[in-house]
Amino acid sequence: MTKIEEFIEETGAFDCVECGKCTSLCPVANLNSNFAPRLIVVKAQEGLESEIKRDKDIWSCITCEICNDMCPYEVDFSGFIQRMRVEAVGMGNVPVCSEAGAVQTMQRITSMGQKQNRLAWLTDDLKVREKGDVYYFTGCAYQLGILFHDKASELKEIPANVVRIMNAAGIEPVVSSKEVCCGHDQLWSGEEVAFIDLMEQNVEMIKETGAKKVVFSCPEGFRTFNIDYQGFLGDMDFEILHISEFLMDLIEEGKLEFKETDETVTYHDSCRLGRHAGVYDMPRDLLDAMGVELVEMASSQEKALCCGVNAFTNCNEASRQLQMMRLLEAKQTGADTMLTFCPKCVIHYNCLLSMEKKPIELEKIDIKVKDFSNFVAEHLKEGD
Amino acid sequence: MITFEPRIVAFCCNWCSYAGADLAGVSRMQYPPSARIIKVMCSGRLEPQFILRAFELGADGVLVAGCHIGDCHYIAGNEKAKVRVEMTKELLDVLGVDSRRLRLEWISAGEGSKFAETMQNFTEQLKELGPSPLKEVI
């Protein structure tokens, strides 16, 4: 059995009955008539290797998993695309990366064995440890905040803010400068070797800290540990938690209090946290506990629209259309702010908002896009 | 013992700095042969990725050279380069690559001697800093 046949079996793509539900719901297929998830699967089943070499469509997929959710035969399309991309890169079919690939390079550089200054955000008032039960995986939010300083500099504040929230609840998390990027972007842009390198370093590093719980503020890191690391290495001996879940536990124990507010927000389910990892309720419960009014967008939870770009590859006209559609929905709710956990969603939406020539008038989509963790930190009632 | 000879990737703009390097050459000025010059049409063409990739592939230092502020052939490309280089320096520090390994200089077509001097003291500085930390593992 060839590698391609193997993952056609494993992802269930073989079960595809060509009903076309995926294609009718796919946001990319809606905008680009040449693209169809069903077609990619059919081509692969026919075993046309030359097709994979030339096919640019596998990079057009935004891996939002709407198709996975709706498929009556439970075909794992995004898993299929992920594996297909690794094969394609091996054959020389590479993606067009945003920023000429600076994000991927930056992430690969973290794994090169030098002494990183990864905790540059750590100020004296924040309490952290070298060993302990709770590890906070900061991810690359701080670095992305530097790289996209003109669009989303607020991302630089995420790690410090998350530690501040944890400190307020009496928790001193472990953070490490030996942490490397989680490898999400490598895996989804087909660089499996680089991904495995990053994964092994991270798992080794977390073992050394002796952590029992690993908390993520970034949905991509959460998904990558939860699904991909455990898929490659088997079950981890630590618990993998998203910050929303972790904070809800603390709130229930009465350890966190929030300032009173009359703000109205809307919440964007990023695809990694929502459809990929199935976390829908916790962020909503969190807003409820904070006393913030939530107005849902027309399509939310399983049906949430996507920011249009994955792993910083293939940002194109369709991506901008998707961003515009989402911002239109957000604006229509009448909320002051759109919150999301995913740093990349923040970048992509702000990218559209900061464009000189927008596909639509600014006032129709003009809503503040903000990171959820930063929002929580701002509303924290700090200890007396 | 093998002495350490730094490898520098120098991005020079077509209109000023590349001509400056040329002048240094035709004037037979002496400077260390440590740089590999890459001509770009404007220092504003430079993306953070070019710098990051150079370091990833084993450069010990990266020099970005362009026209003096106000002299850019494309009006304000060098101002964009300035912002990008500053941001990339911050990123390099976080990544554990000393930001002194990245240098931005304004060298006009008439400043052959400035080009030679820059090469001289950048090479010396890199010798003091030693090989790039990204190279040791390769």
Distance between CA atoms of residues B85 and B103, nearest Å: 8
CATH 3.40.50 domain range(s) in chain A: 98-251, 256-378
DSSP B62-77: EEEEEPPTT--TTSSH
Token representation of residue A197: 């390198």
Among candidates A197, A162, A159, A193, which has minimal Cα distance to A181? A197
Tell me the residue type at A268: H
Domains and CATH numbers, chain B: 8-129 (3.40.50)
DSSP symbol at B136 = T
Contact yes or no for A108 and B56 at CB 8 A: yes
Cβ–Cβ contacts within 10 Å for residue B11, how many?
23
Low-confidence ranges of chain B (pLDDT < 50): 137-138
**How far does CA B113 lie from the centroid of its chain?**
16
Q: Given the structure tokens 């790289």, which residue do they identify?
A: A147
Q: How close, in Å, is residue B130 to chain A by CA atoms? A: 13
Confidence (pTM): 0.93
Query: CB neighbours of B56 closer than 8 A, spacing ≥ 6?
Result: A105, A108, A109, A112, B134
Contact yes or no for B94 and A149 at CB 8 A: no
DSSP symbol at A97 = B
pLDDT (tens digit per residue) in A348-367: 999 999 998 888 888 899 99
Cβ–Cβ contacts within 10 Å for residue A239, how many?
14
Specify the pairing of strand A337-340 against strand A239-242.
unpaired
Contact yes or no for B95 and A108 at CB 8 A: no
Cβ–Cβ contacts within 10 Å for residue A347, how many?
22
A13: confidence class by pLDDT, cuts 50, 70, 90: confident
Q: Would you call A340 helix, strand, or coil by DSSP?
A: strand
**How far does CA B133 lie from the centroid of its chain?**
18
Q: How close, in Å, is residue A274 to chain B by CA atoms? A: 30
- The dotted CATH code for A98-251 is 3.40.50
| Superfamily designation of domain A3-90 | Alpha-helical ferredoxin (1.10.1060.10)
Distance between CA atoms of residues A200 and B3, nearest Å: 35
* Residue B96 contacts residue A143 (beta carbons within 8 Å): no
CATH 1.10.1060.10 domain range(s) in chain A: 3-90
pLDDT (tens digit per residue) in A288-300: 999 999 999 999 9
Contact yes or no for A120 and B96 at CB 8 A: no
Distance between CA atoms of residues A320 and A337, nearest Å: 20
Q: How close, in Å, is residue A345 to chain B by CA atoms? A: 21
Average pLDDT, chain B: 94
Count how many pairs of residues, chain A against chain B, have C-beta atoms within 8 Å: 66
Among B47, B90, B96, the residue with its CB nearest the CB of A99 is: B47
B-interface mutation test, from A99, A111, A114, most B Cβ less than 10 A away: A114
Distance between CA atoms of residues A191 and A236, nearest Å: 23
pLDDT > 60? residue A307: yes
pLDDT (tens digit per residue) in A39-81: 888 888 887 777 777 888 889 999 999 999 889 999 999 999 9
- The dotted CATH code for A256-378 is 3.40.50
Q: Is B11 on the interface with A (CB under 8 A)?
A: no
A1: confidence class by pLDDT, cuts 50, 70, 90: low
